[in-house]
Homo-oligomer: A and B are copies of this chain.
Amino acid sequence: MSPNPDLLADQLHTAAIGLLRQLRREDDAIGITAPRLSALSVVVFGGPLTLGQLAGAEQVKPPTMTRIVTGLEQDGLVERRDDASDGRLTQIHATAKGRKVMAAGRARRVETLTAAVEALDKKHRRELESGVRVLEALNKSMRHSRRPNA
């Protein structure tokens, strides 16, 4: 019962991959890809922010975020606005449509997952909740303990 870190890490990895493969399909079916939905979520709930900040939040390089934002903009979900005080900055604002789509998309995005979670009994659901908490903490710690590399 004392979890081996290596094994646990590997199992977590595998489980996360499997989960996302499922969800990606759902997202694709909605007509908005996962990275875009994720970015839109940040813009909608995190208020207007610059492209660089958004890239940082999504842990992606600026060129990648430029394209994602362009896509969202073409779909009318976000808006680019020049910053009044600093001409280099581009503020990304959510549009009304963006907010609407986000609400609907968010609901549908996790529909399958929600159904699966609902099927769990209370005990398992609580276990999952604890696990998610730990997972969130894990993400933060990994994000901050950037090592040079291998």
Contact = CB atoms under 8 A, between A and B. Distances in A.
Interface of A: 1-3, 5-6, 8-23, 26, 29-30, 34, 38, 59, 106-120, 122, 124-139, 141-143, 145, 147, 149-150
A10 B138 contact: no
B127 A13 contact: no
Count of identical protomers in the assembly = 2
A145 B115 contact: yes
A64 to B, nearest CB: 11
Given A3-B126, A127-B130, A131-B131, A20 B16 contact: yes
B135 A8 contact: no
A12 B113 CA distance: 9
Contacts of A22: 59, 139, 142-143
Contact of A8 (B9, B132, B134): B132
